[in-house]
Each structure stands twice: as C-alpha cells, then as structure tokens.
Chain A
Amino acid sequence: MDDVALAAGGGAGVTAEVAVLGAGMHPWGKWGRSFVEYGVVAARAALADAGLQWRDIGSVIGAGTVRGGYPGYIAGATFARALGWQGSRVASVYAACASGAQAVDAARAQILSGQADAVLVVGADAAPKGFFRPAGGDRPDDPDWLRFRVLGATNPVYFGLYARRRMAVYGDTTDDFAQVKVKNAAMGALNPRARYRSPVTAEEVAASAVVADPLRLLDICATSDGGAAVVLASMEFARRHGHPEPVRIRAVSTVTPRFPNTVLDLPDIATDSAVAVDPPGGTFRMSIAGAAYEEAGIGPEDLSLAEVYDLSTALEVQWYEDLGLCGAGEGVRLLRDGATALGGRVPVNVSGGLASFGEAVPAQAIAQVCELTWQLRGEAGGRQVAGARVGISANQGLFGHGSAVIAVR
C-alpha cells in the first residue's frame, strides 16, 4: 500500500499527484472509420510512450461518445476488448466535452485509493458531418432536443451570442477574434497531429462565410475524428518503471455550476433566474479554473501555458479572463500584446487548439493533457514553450459539464 501512504503525504491542502507516464494520439481528421480504431491507435501510442505493455495496465477508463444508442458502445470495455481482454478493471465516463477529464479524474481516484497502479485513459470519436445534433426520436423532456425543435439553436448560435455580447460590453471586434484563428492556425501548422495544418490570414477569416453573426466559418471549430490516450500511474509505480521525474497531474477540476447560473449555457433556452438568490461571485467557467488552482495550490501567475476550449475564436478570448490571465474585458489586449502567442508570457493553445484540430468530443480533454505532457517534457518540437513547468487545460461542455487539469514537472 505504498501508493496510499504517498497519497496521504501529498502536501497540506493539496491532493496528491499522479504521474503521466505516456501520452498518445491518433491524428485528428475526417477519416471515416470507427472510433474504436482511433482509440486503439492512441492507446498503443500512449503505452509505447510509457514503455509499458498492455498487460501492465490494471484498469481502463473510456471516455464515451454517443452514437447509435449506447454511449460509445460502452467505451471502456470496447477499448479493452479491442486491445485484447486481459481482465483489468474497467469503467466508462460520459460528461459531454468534459468526458476525457472526468475519465482522468476517475483514473486518478483509483490510483490514489490504491485500486490500481497504472490506468489507461482512452477517448475517441468519429464525428458526424455538419452541426452536432441530438440523437433521434421525439424527446420533449430533453433540453437538447428542445433547443433544436423550438429554436433551431445550433452550437454556433450560442457562440454567436457570446461573441456579440463581448463586442457590445467590451468593444472587442471581429478583427480581434480573427487574430485568435491566425495565432492558433500558425501553431497547428507545426503540429503533425492537427487536422488543419495551413497558416490562415485575417483576410481569409474575414472572407469566410458568416455562420452565426458575428462569427464566420473560420471563427468556429469543426467536428473531427480523433483519439487520445494517457497512461497514468502512482508515483511509486513510475519510479519502479524508469520514470524518476514524470509529468504529474496536480489537480483535476470537474465542478458543477452554482445556482443561479446567469450565463446562457448550452443547451439551455434561458438562464437561471437571479430574482431570489444573488448570483455567485464568478461565472461557471471561472469556478472551473478556480477549483483547479485551489486544488493545485497555485495561481494563474504560475502558468507556463494553457490549453483551452476554443470552440470559437471569441471563446478563447473569454477563457483568458476566466482563467485569470487578465481581468474582465482585457482578453483582447492580452491577445494584441502577443502574451498568448508562442514566446509570449503565457502561450495559449500552442497545440493549435480546436481551431486546428476540430472537436472530437470524448478525446479532446485527453488530447489537451497529451499536449501539456509533451510541453512539460520539452518534446513539443517547433511549438515548444521554453522552460514550461506548469500547464492548465480547461473546457466547458453541455449540461453543466466543465473541467480543468493542472499538470506540472
């Protein structure tokens, strides 16, 4: 039970750490094959990166996608079967865009409680063409079904509302938003696992079709196929297997919003009312990051880099503020100053972000952790953040799901 002893010794008020021994991905794209295939490629890459065999893994946790009825054909077991049944523990997690991070969190809990020494976390998706849409059938009690039925409110509709609100409240411009795409496309061009690997100019963003005013096609992330996996382990297991100084996960935040949530979040048709209870001090997205900082015992000033969910260009700017990289309304200034570009004070989305990957829902939060891992090891090649020591990933998805992971080395 060395692992449990280690967990207890993790430091005052801070959760004990787990090691990231391996990270692997199937390149993002539109490959037209099964999500299982992408997950297996990612899992094998993560195992090879960790220097481990499949039989060394005591537990598999799959992040689920929802296709054809069953969530990901019960993702964890599906990946375990494809890799070859070997009697490991298995679990599956579905939490919309936060699925991958909740899978990481479940793996961490198993390791810190001594249930498993080494856990394989896998997420993969084969995304449909075009807008995400709810599963079939009439479901008038399902908010996701209702927003399509009653309003035709696709995901980009919400992104457009947020972007317009920022323009009105803070004076952001569509030219500012385009610069996020320019920045992230430049990074994606350096990432062999990204789907879009061409630089994009502001003129190209401005010439793309409007999807949901004020946002254009190149402001909004695509939906992609892809797979990502990490091998997590106890620090003791890491030492025994030749990883004396691994990247460590110091915090995983998977908090819910607090009532009343006064931001119109997907897939809701209205906010909570604040008429009887005053809103909490910060928004849901701020609390996602805040819980991670608190757990890790660090603050935004300690970050070397961040990977955030740029579902739209404008949302990346919003994340700067929600992560505390700057104050409310100051996100565009940070962008214009180059602080979030490679070489800046705190580079954001050096992987290329969703702008360069497109979203493969259950894989995306795991892919963020993969990028943090390679950056913290100094293995990110042309997009390497010099001297990276602390990284945060953050995302938000449907139905009150969101997550942040802090990794250190």
Chain B
Amino acid sequence: MPRTRTPVVAGWFEGDGDGFRLLGTRCASCASVFFPREDHYCRNPACASGELEEIRLSRRGRVWSFTDSRYRPPSPYVSDPELPWQPYVLIAVELAAERIVVLGQAAPGVTVADLAVGMEAEVVPGVLHEDAATTWTTWHWRPAGVRA
C-alpha cells in the first residue's frame, strides 16, 4: 500500500516542484508578514487587527547563516536509532521581499562546505521521514548551483 503524503505541519507550505512555496500570513491592516503563520492576531504592537490573509512567501532568498547537526537530536525529532546518525545541514535564509529569516533543513546531500553566507538559496519540497503508512513532508533549502 503506498504511503500517504502528509505535511509535518498543516498549512505551512503547499505545491509541488517549481510551484512549491512556504505559506505565511499577512495582516490586512498593517501588512506585517508572519511565518509560521499567525491566523488570529497581528503581533505588530501598533496594530490591533485580527484579520490575516494567507500568502505564499518568496521562493528564493539569501543564506543568512548555516550550521549542521552532528549528533542525533532528541525526540520529538524522529530518527531510526538502529541506523548510524547521518548529520544534516540547517540553513537560515533571508527573504528580501518579506524581510524575514526562515530556518530550514538543507536538501539532502548539501554539506556546510557547499555553503557561504550571502549565497542564493531556494525553497524545495522535501521529506522529513517516513513510517509504515505516511511520508511526512517538509520544506528544504537548496543553495543555488548545488544539485545533490
């Protein structure tokens, strides 16, 4: 039986391939942007609006910083304790249009040696982990010019 594809968090991203985007919200009153999404209140202290609309965030941004996780993170991160730990890279990407920095895992195969602060990166669909019934999907950052 094929696994069901389920986002690790509902409403944070949508689409496939080149159409994949992070989803945020924008305040209808002051235009502040939120990711992760705020749906019930605007966090601008000068704005009392409760009206927020869903928006798709920019596909590309610039690497603000990066690091990696050389040791197995604790639960609720899901990993198979039977398998040796495989480090992965995390990238914080600054989106110019939204003036926001968003953290994410790098696409599989990316290493810190591939990266530099200021480099362009784009958001791509990714898989966080799989269990018997479900493929848990997420977003990944892929640096421009790196095809792992």
Residues of A within 8 A of B (CB): 130-131, 133-134, 136, 138, 140, 143, 145-154, 157, 160-165, 168-169, 209-215, 258-260, 262, 264, 268-277
Contact = CB atoms under 8 A, between A and B. Distances in A.
B99 interface: yes
Given A211-B70, A268-B103, A269-B36, 4 more contacts: A152-B73, A164-B117, A211-B71, A276-B30
Q: Which of A149, A154, A169 has the most CB of B within 10 A?
A: A149
A358 B113 CA distance: 30
Closest 4 pairs between A and B when the two form their complex, measured CB to CB: A160-B67, A168-B117, A152-B73, A152-B77
A170 to B, nearest CB: 11
Contact of A148 (B67, B77, B112): B77
Interface in B54-105: 64-71, 73-79, 88, 90, 92, 97-105
Given A131-B74, A154-B74, A161-B92, A262 B101 contact: yes
Given A146-B9, A148-B76, A213 B100 contact: no
Given A148-B73, A264-B92, A275-B97, A270 B67 contact: no
B100 A151 contact: no
B20 interface: no
Nearest to B36: A269
B48 interface: no
Contact of A212 (B30, B68, B97, B104): B68
Contacts, number: 143
B32 A275 contact: yes
A265 to B, nearest CB: 11
Contacts of B116: 168
A150 B138 contact: yes
Contacts of B30: 276-277
Contacts of B101: 262, 264, 270-271
B99 A273 contact: yes
Interface of B: 8-9, 27, 30-36, 43-46, 64-71, 73-79, 88, 90, 92, 97-105, 112, 116-118, 128, 138
Nearest to B22: A270
A148 B99 CA distance: 24
B65 A162 contact: yes
Given A149-B8, A151-B90, A271-B100, A134 B76 contact: yes
B99 A151 contact: no
A138 B76 contact: yes
Contacts of A259: 43-45
Given A161-B65, A161-B67, A275-B33, A151 B44 contact: no
Nearest to B103: A269
Q: Which of A147, A168, A212, A275 has the most CB of B within 10 A?
A: A275
B128 to A, nearest CB: 7
A277 B97 CA distance: 13
Given A152-B77, A153-B90, A276 B27 contact: yes
Contact of B75 (A148, A153, A165): A148
A327 B32 CA distance: 31
A264 B70 contact: no
Contacts of B69: 152-154, 157, 212
A266 B40 CA distance: 23
A268 B43 CA distance: 15
A363 B9 CA distance: 35
28 contacts: A130-B74, A148-B73, A149-B77, A150-B138, A152-B69, A152-B77, A154-B69, A154-B71, A157-B67, A157-B69, A157-B90, A161-B92, A161-B103, A168-B65, A168-B117, A169-B117, A210-B68, A214-B67, A215-B67, A260-B32, A260-B44, A264-B64, A264-B92, A269-B36, A270-B35, A270-B36, A270-B100, A277-B46
